[in-house]
Amino acid sequence: MKEKAKAFAIKAHHGQQRKTSNEPYVTHPIRVAKRLEANHFSDELVCAAYLHDVVEDTPYEMEDIQKQFGQRVAQLVAAHTEDKSKSWQERKEHTIAMIKDADKEVKYLIVADKLDNLLELEKELKKHGSSVWDAFNAGRDKQKWYNQSIAQNMYHGLKDSEVPDFFGMYEEAIKRVFG
Amino acid letter at 50? Y
Q: How far apart are CA 160 and CA 126, in angstroms?
A: 34
- 17 forms bridges with which residues in the sheet? 24
Annotated catalytic residues are 56-57
SS3 per residue for 56-73: HHCCCCHHHHHHHHCHHH
The closest alpha carbon to 117, from 48, 29, 13, 24, belongs to 29
